[in-house]
Amino acid sequence: MSTLALHTPEKPVEAAGPGAPALPAPLWELPAGLSYRAERVAYHGPHREFVAPGRFVVLIDGESPWATARPEECLNTSNPSVWIADYEVLVCLSCGLDDS
C-alpha cells in the first residue's frame, strides 16, 4: 500500500452494517443525483482488472441502471466507458464502475 496520499476526502462511504470493516473513502465527490453503492469492489471483469480502493459502482438517483449487477461479473472487456452527469463522471457502460 502506498503511503502517498493524493486525495483525502472528508467522508467515507457508509459501511455495510455494524461491525463491517470500513470501506475506503471514495476518490471523488459525486455531483447531485449520483451516489456510490457502499460495496467494496474486488476487481473488474473476467480478466480481474485492478480496481483502486475508493472506486465504487455509481448509482443514479439511488438506483443501479446497469446491465451487470457487480463489476466482478462484468463482461465488458472492450471497455467502452461512458461520461454521465455533464461529463463529470466516467463509468463502465456495463456495470457502472467509476472509471473517472
Cell of 96: 457502472
Q: Is 76 a residue that touches Zn ion (CB under 5 A)?
A: yes
How many Cβ atoms are within 10 Å of 59's Cβ, its own excluded? 18
Only segment of 12-20, 23-31, 50-58, 75-83 that touches Zn ion (CB under 5 A)? 75-83
Only segment of 15-23, 34-42, 50-58, 85-93 that touches Zn ion (CB under 5 A)? 85-93
The separation between CA 23 and the C-alpha centre of its own chain, rounded to angstroms, equals 12
The binder of Zn ion chosen from 13, 59, 74, 84 (CB under 5 A): 74
How many Cβ atoms are within 10 Å of 64's Cβ, its own excluded? 15
Interface with Zn ion by CB under 5 A: which residues? 74, 76, 92, 94-95, 97
